Amino acid sequence: MERIKADILVIGAGSGGLSVASGAVQMGASVVLLEDHKMGGDCLNYGCVPSKALIASGKVAYGMGHASVYGIADVAAQVDYAAAKDHVQGVIEQIAPVDSQERFEGLGVRVIREKGRFISETEVQAGDHIITARRVVIATGSSPLVPPILGLDQVPYLTNETLWSLRERPAHLLIIGGGPIGMEMAQAHRRLGSKVTVIEGGRALGKDDPEMTGILLEQLRGEGIEIAEYARAQEVRGTGGAIEVEVDGGAVYRGSHLLIAVGRRVNTDALDLDKAGIKTTKTGVQVDSSLKTTNKRVYAIGDAAGGLQFTHVAGYHAGIVIRSALFGLPAKAATAHIPHVTYTDPELAQVGLTEEQAKQEHGLNVEVVRSHYAHNDRAIAERRTTGLIKVMVVRGRPVGATIIGHQAGELINLWALVLANGLKMKHVANMVAPYPTIGELNKRAAGAYFSPRLFESATVKRIVGIVQRWLP
């Protein structure tokens, strides 16, 4: 049994764990990294990267069949589903070296490809190694949640982890779960030629602004995706190629393949956290605002921390931990400035409070300003006029922004910057945006906030009148 001492021990080589390991070792700390599965974690191998690659394939196929508006003949795309999956794998392989064991060992990280578990408050065992570290970071991520639906254990089904090994295009894909993952995969597969039915127990995309999701769902249904809302799956039966999902009320949906996309569960079962005095909650490891667990030498970040489950949150958490663990400086994680995007077409993006949340929190002090894609010249030129931006403003300061439309995931970056730094609408209004760009929509939203104050104000008009009489 080898005993190892380190400054930082990271358990999990997903995006958050890798960010901590690379940052810490390059700042002079000794780092041990444990990973018993694939380097890069869920995001690289099963989540963000492969899903966006498949979405890109679907977007190209859809564009070929909808080109006539640009003066180009529509062509029925000849989709090779296996080749599309090769494209997905190629994207993963191109990014993988950045997350590889070889790269991190080159940086000076001791990488051990074993599962880690606590054997005391200060020790972690991984295979034939016992590691003692000044600080431990739990970055074990999450896995697909498989709900207790009657018969599901008797029927072949896919998750976001197993979907990528499928080489034959589903004739009719049934998706249980109408959240971001379900909707992204629904549209991608529909555009690649599959029939698709989404079965959702509540409102589809229920955590997002209903006005904006209404625009998105109309587009998805217009592409031929069947979306059954408020239809809770009660029983699954059948065999591969012939699967049935019965929902409450008795309706039955039939398809060839089944994808489960109802959420995620944190990977902590194998850690023996109780031996380290680390408490958990229903959603993950219990942490305070500085991401410390009930064992103050141990942090939890990313999905393991039981909060927002996004890759960029894990990266943000890594910065908090590095500040605290390496420099001993106070650092607290916040959520109000964290954006998220659903990468459908059109995209749906959010940062801060939704309209409903803002009105609940700030009441009559909230002003909601809108900027419509239909008034943007670049959107008109590209025939991308479906969508709008909503910004929730309290006394001149944005508290949230919601965007549905082309490049919403890019446009939300500006509002994330605004919220993160406490900027006001005047700062956005002062920006000069190049013409013609989709990004002008953000400046127009700021203009929509100030326009009534300038153009509909009797006081402003009176001042202008006085000044004009006195000017030579």
Sketch the domain layout of the chain as residue ranges: 2-39+100-144+265-327, 152-263, 339-455
297 neighbors 290 (Cβ within 8 angstroms): no
Q: Given a cut of 80, is residue 463 above it in pLDDT?
A: no
User: What's the whole-number mean pLDDT along residues 120-143?
Assistant: 97
**Phi, psi dihedrals of residue 442, rounded to the nearest 5°:** -65, -45
Output the pLDDT for position 152.
Answer: 97
Output the pLDDT for position 283.
Answer: 94
Q: Given a cut of 70, is residue 215 above it in pLDDT?
A: yes
Check whether domain 339-455 has CATH 3.30.390.30, yes or no: yes
| 3-state secondary structure (DSSP) of residue 54 | helix
CA proximity to 402, closest of 393, 413, 417, 389: 389
In which element (H, E) is residue 428 found?
helix 425-430
Instruction: Point out the annotated binding site for NAD(+).
Output: 177-184, 200, 263
Instruction: Point out the annotated binding site for FAD.
Output: 52, 116, 140-142, 303
**Bridge partners of residue 371, in order along the sequence:** 389
pLDDT above 90: percentage of residues in the chain: 94
Output the pLDDT for position 456.
Answer: 67
Identical fold between 2-39+100-144+265-327 and 152-263: yes
Q: Given a cut of 90, is residue 242 above it in pLDDT?
A: yes
Cis peptide before 180 (omega within 30 of 0): no
Q: How many CB atoms lie within 10 A of CB 435?
A: 9
**Phi, psi dihedrals of residue 124, rounded to the nearest 5°:** -125, 130
Q: Given a cut of 80, is residue 468 above it in pLDDT?
A: no
Instruction: Point out the annotated binding site.
Output: 52, 116, 140-142, 177-184, 200, 263, 303
Summarize the chain as % helix, strand, coil (round to 5).
40, 25, 35
Token pair 């039981």 is at which residue? 306
Output the pLDDT for position 450.
Answer: 87
User: How far is residue 5 from each of residues 65, 295, 325, measured CA to CA in Å?
Assistant: 60, 18, 16
User: How far is residue 258 from each of residues 89, 193, 321, 363, 463, measured CA to CA in Å?
Assistant: 22, 16, 39, 43, 67
The token duo for 343 is 């990468």
User: What's the whole-number mean pLDDT along residues 457-463?
Assistant: 70
> In angstroms, how far is the first alpha carbon of the chain from the final one?
91
406 neighbors 379 (Cβ within 8 angstroms): yes
Domain 152-263, CATH number (from 1.10.8.870, 3.40.50.300, 3.50.50.60, 3.90.79.10): 3.50.50.60
Looking at domain 2-39+100-144+265-327, its CATH superfamily turns out to be: FAD/NAD(P)-binding domain (3.50.50.60)
348 neighbors 401 (Cβ within 8 angstroms): no
DSSP assignment letter at 321: H
User: What's the whole-number mean pLDDT along residues 198-203?
Assistant: 98
435 neighbors 462 (Cβ within 8 angstroms): no
Q: Which residues have C-beta within 8 Å of that of residue 344, sequence separation ≥ 6?
A: 183, 184, 187, 216, 219, 220
Q: Given a cut of 90, is residue 91 above it in pLDDT?
A: yes
Q: How many CB atoms lie within 10 A of CB 340?
A: 19
